[in-house]
Amino acid sequence: MEVTLKRTAALVARNPLQQHAAAALAAAQHQRRRPFSFSSLTRPPPNYPGHVPLSPVERAALVVGAGLGSLFNPYRGDLIAIFSEVTATPYFIYRLRDAMLASPTGRRILRDRPRITSTSLNLPRLRSLPEGTVGRTYVAWLDREGVSPDTRAPVRHVDDEECAYVLQRYRECHDFYHALTGLPVVREGEVALKAFEFANTLLPMTGLSVFAAATLKPSERRRFREIYLPWALRNGLRAKEVINVYWEEQLERNVEDLRRELGVEPPPDLRDIRKREREERRKKKEAEAAAAAAAAAAASTASAAEAAAAAGSV
């Protein structure tokens, strides 16, 4: 982009009649100028507290490093977070921010900038809400999974300050998406939820995380292919933008109402399916063990009978 502008400016400047155009072009070039590759001693000033602007080389290195690192060690949530930040630009985080701006609730969220941390939600109050409310469903999901709300790592590598908040909001609402869909925190559930999030928010990290399905067991992969991926794509594409849900205001609302309004239908309960499969496997193993024991017992009685007959004949 810069090179084209420079060449155009040089060509235009040769013609004295277009000097004013050349001046305008030079001004535009200077304005649009961002150092292609800056040294960290001359890193541009941050746009918000904690902001670390990255050069393209650093960005590429983090895409590869954080992507591979989080694929091979899914417990490194910080690498997943960084991966989401460095792949969010260009285009995708701006599209999400524009989707927020296009909705009145989204605009209110961007103005209020609410934050969800480990201490911002009053869990006992949510537990006291009536059955079937969003807040109660959320706490029930937390209890079922045995997790508590985390303070998510702050966004550091998104250059635009508003887009940094949009990504932060997405990160903090992730547990609410879990509660909305009922998916558990096991790897299978997370991959299914990421597929849903990709279809809905179009963030590259969510889409690329679906490749983590390759690390699932064969039965899990089959389930994902047959049930959860179609569910995720169908619901993610059909549903309204979940980023625009003002969760703090929706806590006392009926969760089915919210699901209907958004256009999300919960998938088959994954924990139940897994439990049933485990039960079947265990029963099969027990049956096999019983059959083996019976066969061994039969064999031993047969050999004992032979030995007795041999002894008797002697």
Partner 1 sequence: MAARSAFRRALPWLPRSPVASSLRQAHHVPSQRPFSTSLSASTPNPSSSKDPSVPDYAIPDPSRPTHFGFQTVTEAEKRERVAGVFASVAESYDRMNDLMSFGWHRVWKDHFVASLNPGFSPLGDPPRAPQHILDIAGGTGDIAFRLLHTAHVVNGNPDVRVTMSDINRAMLTVGKHRAARQLPASQQAALSFVEANAEDLTKARPLVPYPPDHSTSPDEYTGSEQPFFDPATATTGIPDASVDLYTVAFGIRNFSNIPAALREARRVLKPGGVFACLEFSKVVSSHPAGALFDAVYKEWSFRAIPLIGQLVAADRDSYQYLVESIARFPSQDEFRDMILDAGFVVAGDGYENLTGGVAAIHKGMKPRE
Provide the binding-site residues for partner 1, judged by CB under 8 A: 39-41, 43, 45-46, 48-52, 55, 57-58, 61-62, 65-66, 69, 76, 78-79, 82, 113-115, 117, 151-154, 156, 165
152 vs 223, beta carbon nearer partner 1: 152
CB of 27 to partner 1, least distance (A): 25
> Is residue 269 annotated as involved in ligand binding?
no
Supply the minimum distance, in Å, between the C-beta of residue 112 and partner 1: 10
178 is in an annotated binding site: yes
* Cα 150 to Cα 218: distance, rounded to the nearest angstrom: 31
If the CB atoms of residues 65 and 74 are measured against partner 1, the closer one turns out to be 65
Is 143 annotated as ligand-binding?
Answer: no
SS3 254: strand
Minimum Å gap between C-beta 41 and partner 1 is 6
Q: For residue 133, which phi and psi values (nearest 5 degrees)?
A: -90, 160
The token pair at 198 is 């990709």
CB 153 within 8 A of CB 167: no
Please answer whether residues 223 and 238 qualify as being in contact, where contact means their C-beta atoms are separated by less than 8 angstroms. Answer: no
- Has 190 been labeled as part of a binding site? yes
- For partner 1, the closer of residues 4 and 39 by Cβ is 39
At closest approach, how far in Å is the CB of 141 from partner 1? 22
- Which residue, 15 or 40, has its beta carbon nearer to partner 1? 40
Question: How far apart, in whole angstroms, are the C-alpha atoms of residue 289 and residue 281?
Answer: 12
- CA-CA distance, 52 to 227, in Å (whole number)? 41
**H or E element: which one contains 300?**
helix 270-313
- Report, in Å, the least distance between residue 82 CB and partner 1: 7
Q: Tell me whether residue 66 or residue 183 sits nearer to partner 1 (CB atom).
A: 66
Measured from the Cβ of residue 85, the count of other Cβ atoms closer than 10 Å reads 26
- The Cα 256–Cα 245 span in angstroms is 14
Q: How many CB atoms lie within 10 A of CB 220?
A: 20
Return d(Cα 20, Cα 26) in angstroms, integer: 10
Question: For residue 300, what are its two tokens?
Answer: 């031993």
Residue closest to 239 by CA, chosen among 258, 219, 213: 258
**CB of 118: closest distance to partner 1 in angstroms?**
8
Q: Which is nearer to partner 1, 24 or 57 (CB)?
A: 57
State the binding site. 174-175, 178, 190
State the binding site for Zn(2+). 174-175, 178, 190
